[in-house]
Chain A
Amino acid sequence: MTPEELQRKLQSSFTDMDEIPLFKDNLNARARGEFLFKWTVRFSAFTAVFIMSLLLYRVLQDGLPWLSFDFLNRFPSRLPERAGIKSALYGSCYIIVLTTIFSVSIGVAAALYLEEIAKKNRLSQFIEVNIANLAGVPSLVYGILGLAVFVRYLDFGRSVLAAAATLALMILPVIIITSREALRTVPNGIRMAALALGATPWQTIWSHVLPAALPNILTGVILALSRALGEAAPLIIVGGVTYIAFIPESLFDSFTTMPIQIFNWAGRPQVEFQGIAAAGIIVMLLLVLTTNAFAIILRNKFSQKSRW
């Protein structure tokens, strides 16, 4: 007997017993709805993948012919055949390392204060609301802020340091918010156990709470850093230059980054530069993937121990 036949039989037997059926189970319509639902979500999932692969295909098609070791090892040039991404690659790497140091140390410390130390009062609520709002501020505004505070007021100049500080400020709210979420998932029993052994709050946090929250904190850091790596707008305001024929050697040297360089190439009239921009995109995607892979390995290493 097929399921349909069984269904029909059950239905008829119920209606035979009952003169007025109390339930209209409407199974066929519900099954149709189920079918529709499944295919809608499936299609949505594939849409993202499909568009991404299309993009990747086009970028690889345009960029691969231009990609070579020389491309990585040459400074920018007016002549397409001599243009390279060396200064932007180094600039991006330096800036992302500095941004990570600034944003993770300040962000995690701020999250620890708000989640573990601060009493719930007006002040902590005020800080909380502000951080939530800052997460929604457009990146251009952070660029202007960076220009006013870091470049001019603190006199960092149009430098690597000013750029990293601006990007760190931009992703700080996201890191604080995700770190707080991560700290909230640590079971309270762990804190109580440590405190009851005569640990100070700091010892409790450092030895138990932070390690347990680290995998989820790193997830937030990965997302935030990927965003910082791809951001061009605030850095153009802070003073990213597109023609730099040297590698930054100090924190106060001027800089360029890959998104700025790619933006510049893509805007040039010569057709060859479209291909070079695509090659730049490939290099940037590789860098993003490498950073993410590194962070994911780190996360998995820490999440193995803490399963409760």
Chain B
Amino acid sequence: MSDLNQNSNANQSVLSALDVSLAYDQRTIVKNVTLNLDPNSITSLIGPSGCGKSTLLRTFNRMNDFIPAFRKTSGFIKYRNLDIYGDDVDPVFIRRRVGMVFQKPNPFPSSIAKNITWGPSINGFQGDFDELVEISLKRAALWDEVKDKLHSSGLALSGGQQQRLCIARAIAMDPDVILMDEPCSALDPASTAKIEELMSELKERYSILIVTHNMQQAARASDHTALMYHGELVEFGSTRQIFNSPKNKVTEDYIMGRFG
């Protein structure tokens, strides 16, 4: 099955969706979306509420498996040419390679260090845990703020710090891709700016797919932008092209703020 529908540049893509349709019970949420994600780049998925962008995002690490009504009705989702929904694929392997940051900061109710080390330890990390904590927190630009209280609760941090802790937790797994589901929607502008700055540093090592409601954020922080509307992928291209010379009328209306 894996050599069917082989897209020309699918070999280079980290993640790709080929003609993907998704549904909750009988209700189709995503219709025939094809999307390729370049390595070491930031791609943002934008679109009005309920357009299916979060549902699409969650198929890339099979987090939709936990929604009983969810079904994939057509197409392939691929991670480096591996069919993610293939019969012989263990979702645990996918989630270990494709990390995720959620909309609401959700640190574990334990210490900052434990938040970082738990994922690697259950996945058989062989290295030095103290070093891992330091590197992950440094990459998430949180080290200086928390280095003296690594053993106090992650829940005692501010919302923005908690979200960066969640990013550090994802980084500690040394993933290939990081999925972000509206990571800044619960944060104040200062914390948002910090996370955007962080994203541009992280793309040196990881590929990032981010769902956002905030068009300015997509314009500022991403290399590629995809606009979804009513479950369909309306337009996908470089962020500069999408925001400066959209080819589609819907895209133009959306980025001009005529609906949404």
A-side residues, CB < 8 A to B, are 119-120, 187, 189-200, 203, 207-208, 212, 305-308
Contact = CB atoms under 8 A, between A and B. Distances in A.
Contacts of A308: 109, 155
**3 tightest CB-CB pairs across the interface, nearest first?**
A198-B96, A189-B106, A197-B119
B66 A195 contact: yes
Contacts of B107: 193
B153 A203 contact: no
Contact of A119 (B68, B108, B118, B169): B68
A305 B109 contact: yes
Given A192-B63, A305-B153, A199 B122 contact: yes
Interface residues of B, number: 27
Nearest to B96: A198
Interface in B89-138: 92-93, 95-96, 99-100, 102, 104, 106-110, 118-119, 122-123
Given A203-B122, A305-B110, A198 B93 contact: yes
A231 to B, nearest CB: 36
B191 to A, nearest CB: 18
A290 B117 CA distance: 38
A190 B66 CA distance: 13
B57 to A, nearest CB: 12
Given A189-B106, A203-B122, A197 B155 contact: no
8 contacts: A120-B68, A189-B102, A194-B118, A196-B99, A196-B102, A199-B122, A203-B122, A212-B109
Contact of A198 (B66, B92, B155): B92
Contacts of A305: 109-110, 153
Contact of A307 (B93, B100, B109): B109
A198 B63 CA distance: 11
B16 interface: no
Interface in B144-171: 153, 155, 166, 169-170
B119 A199 contact: yes
Given A196-B99, A197-B96, A198-B96, A190 B155 contact: no
Contacts of A212: 109
A196 B95 contact: yes
B84 interface: no
Contacts of B141: none
B173 interface: yes
Nearest to B103: A189
B237 to A, nearest CB: 29
B118 A207 contact: yes
A253 to B, nearest CB: 45
B61 interface: yes
A198 B173 contact: yes
A169 B42 CA distance: 57
B155 A192 contact: no
Contacts of B66: 191-192, 195
Nearest to A204: B122
A187 B106 CA distance: 9
B172 to A, nearest CB: 9
A237 B66 CA distance: 47
A183 B136 CA distance: 31
A196 B155 contact: no
Contacts of B106: 187, 189-190, 192-193
A196 B108 contact: no
Most buried by B among A197, A212, A305: A197
Nearest to A197: B119
A207 B122 contact: yes
A119 B104 CA distance: 26
Given A119-B68, A203-B122, A194 B102 contact: no
A194 B118 CA distance: 9
B155 A307 contact: yes
Nearest to B104: A189
Nearest to B153: A305
B118 to A, nearest CB: 7
A193 B93 contact: no
Interface string B52-83: 00000000010100101000000000000000
A197 B95 contact: yes
Contacts of B109: 190, 212, 305-308
Contacts of A195: 63, 66, 95
Contacts of A190: 106, 108-109
A306 B170 CA distance: 21
Given A305-B110, A306-B109, A198 B118 contact: no
A270 B67 CA distance: 68
Contacts of B119: 194, 197-199
A30 to B, nearest CB: 41
Contacts of B63: 192, 195-196
Nearest to B97: A198
Given A194-B108, A197-B173, A305-B110, 17 more contacts: A187-B106, A189-B104, A190-B108, A191-B66, A192-B66, A193-B166, A196-B99, A196-B100, A197-B96, A197-B118, A197-B170, A198-B95, A198-B96, A207-B122, A305-B153, A307-B109, A308-B155
A187 B107 CA distance: 11
